[in-house]
Structure 1
Amino acid sequence: MSLRSIALALVTGSVLALTACGGGDTAAESPTCPDGKIRFGVEPFEDPARLTPAAQKLGDALSQKLQCPVEVQVTQEYSAEVLAMQNGKLDIAIFGPLGYVFASQRADAEAVASFANADRNLSTYTAGIWVPKDSDITSVQQLRGRSLALGSVGSTSGDALPRKALADTGIPEKDVKIDYAGGHPEALLALTNGQVEAAEINSQQLASATAGGTFDPSRFRQIWSSAPIPNDPITVRGDMDPAFKQAVKDALLNLDPATVGEIGALLDVSPPGPLVPVDRGTYQPLFDLAASLKLTEGDV
């Protein structure tokens, strides 16, 4: 099935919505509180049982800063989050780097902040492909005719970068048995359960699963790693009031590191620092990646 077909099939996915309490009776009158609440989307990069409370903590803190209730929505698919912002159903959102590319194109999403370490340096992560330790696969070139679990359509490290690795070695995608597992945790489980011969595991999921005891790196071997990827941007929808966009940016950049540390830990940011400013230029390599794979707005 084509990337476009899969993405279109997924956009009907629902979201898990939680409302962060904050603001007051006058919140709806504030220019920083459109329609009496702020709708905050989060991409599904981690098990919802872990991601939802971490995202909720960030939403609660933002609610207090802006004196406006923040509704946190963890989407079921990457494509659903992009379309939600395009359709005006999200005011701000955390996107994967590639998701931001499409959100920029489709909803004029503006990157304003991302996760940093304690030295205030923007954090990064890497995509990876792993196989069992005793596998005869030692390189990407040997994936021809083998099964490979990828995460989700539209994911930077769980879809685009592994596919770019195949393209760079001259292997047509049709020559690899690609299985979209539904997310990073699911791709990892497909490998550990012996359902596939190789799987994408990015450095964030590796750290999270290893710490959680669901993955033993000594039993597996990494055969490929990407260059460092700038961590996920927090974005504001482009058609929001300029005063609102500035208020959101100021609030995010002045949050206590402890507030963002829980969700930052799921992005392998340790020790956590404050959020730091980013912009479109920060993610130019991802725009270039989309161009090299000939991905367009219609692919998500």
Structure 2
Amino acid sequence: MFTKRRAAAVTAAATLALALAGCAGGDAPSGGDGDAPEELVLGLVPSQDVDQLVVDAQELGDLLSDELGIPVTTNVSTDYAALVTAMQAGQAQIGMFGPIALVQAADVAGAVPVLQSVRYGSDTYVTQWYTKDTERFCLDEVVEKETEDGVFTFCNGTDADEVEGPKGEEALELITQDEKIAFVDEGSASGYYYPATQLQEVAGLDPFALTGAVFAGGHPNAVIAVDDGDATVGVSFDDAREEVVAERPTIGQDVTVFAWSQNIPNDGIAVSADLSEEWQQKITDAFLAVAETEEGLAVLDAVYNIEGLVPADLEALDAARQVEANFGE
């Protein structure tokens, strides 16, 4: 059961961590006067196997080190709230965030959003809702689509080539207050804020009293929870089933997508405001340089399935900020 807003928890945790860091004498790397920091810490949050992300993230850190001429170490936080906390406490100077956590990093930790990810040629995406109970949630015929990763099933219009939501919201009206739902993480846009808001607006459910809901701890984990029968429906970014194909080759047929949320701005990169504007720009340029190389794109793809980077769309992030601000209201 969900009983309180995550934003308040993020604020409180960040304030406490900042106080503890100050007591311990931990200062953020110097950069406010334009001098080069001695090192930088890049923070990430799991969306895949944690051990593999640690390896992939350090490869990204090494590429950034080559571009910047100073060490860039990486740290995988437990969740977005912990990464926001690390940014405010000066324990990380660069963070890779989902859109809700990105605006929280800006509003709570004073971080500066600089870049957003591109996937499938777009800087937006949707929450996908999926299930094994197609008789209940598929209001029309289940459609199969064959991709390089295998055969994937969809219904209620979610087989469209252009990812524009929302779709299948009539099926969301069938979800009950005690439904077994696999969310992803309390700070995740596609894995919690947007789908929980949909349930509130479409099905009239209280997002803080979803008695059968759990946090799976990662997008692939939510897919697996539904496949294993631990949840009736689950949510994730589109299409997180691809992350599970290697482990479960028939996952695309076993678990069917039946609804989408409205479009969400893609995840992005924020840098600490404690760094000089010169170094904020250097870090931005370093990421763009990495994304322009074959090796760099391979690493970005391994880390977060990133196909490219573009300047942060502050207007789109304002829309995500409104979703966060209105959540549960």
Distance in 2 between residues matched to 1:263 and 1:67, nearest whole Å: 20
Aligned residues: 272
Distance in 2 between residues matched to 1:3 and 1:59, nearest whole Å: 35
Secondary structure of residue in 1 paired with 2:101: helix
Structure 2 equivalent of residue 16 of structure 1 = none
TM-score w.r.t. the length of structure 1 is: 0.80
| Offset, 1:125 | 2.5
1:152 corresponds, among 181, 185, 200, to: 185
- Structure 2 stretches lacking a partner, 5+ long: 15-30, 139-170
Structure 1 equivalent of residue 55 of structure 2 = 53
Structure 2 equivalent of residue 22 of structure 1 = none
Distance in 2 between residues matched to 1:229 and 1:246, nearest whole Å: 26
Structure 2 equivalent of residue 181 of structure 1 = 216
Distance in 2 between residues matched to 1:175 and 1:38, nearest whole Å: 40
Q: 1:116 to 1:185 in 2, by over 3 A?
A: closer
* Counterparts of residues 197-276 of structure 1 (less than 5 Å): 197-210=232-245, 213=248, 216-255=251-290, 256-258=292-294, 259-264=296-301, 267-269=304-306, 272-273=307-308, 275-276=309-310
Structure 1 equivalent of residue 325 of structure 2 = 291
Distance in 2 between residues matched to 1:4 and 1:133, nearest whole Å: 30
Q: 1:137 to 1:96 in 2, by over 3 A?
A: same
1:277 corresponds, among 298, 303, 311, to: 311
Secondary structure of residue in 2 paired with 1:44: coil
TM-score w.r.t. the length of structure 2 is: 0.74
Structure 1 equivalent of residue 110 of structure 2 = 108
> Is the 1:45–1:184 contact (alpha carbons within 8 Å) kept by the matching residues of 2?
yes
Percent identity between the two aligned chains: 26
Structure 2 equivalent of residue 2 of structure 1 = 3
Over aligned residues, Cα RMSD in angstroms? 2.8
Secondary structure of residue in 1 paired with 2:174: helix
| Offset, 1:184 | 1.6
Structure 1 equivalent of residue 73 of structure 2 = 71
Deviations 1:181-223 (A, max 9, x none): 2222222221111111111132142222235546612122222
Secondary structure of residue in 2 paired with 1:189: helix
What is the one-letter code of the residue matched to 1:41? G
What is the one-letter code of the residue matched to 1:262? V
What is the one-letter code of the residue matched to 1:141? E
2:64 corresponds, among 52, 58, 62, to: 62
Deviations 1:136-177 (A, max 9, x none): 234111111321111111111111011011011112232552
> Is the 1:3–1:153 contact (alpha carbons within 8 Å) kept by the matching residues of 2?
no
> Is the 2:56–2:302 contact (alpha carbons within 8 Å) kept by the matching residues of 1?
no
> Is the 1:115–1:276 contact (alpha carbons within 8 Å) kept by the matching residues of 2?
yes
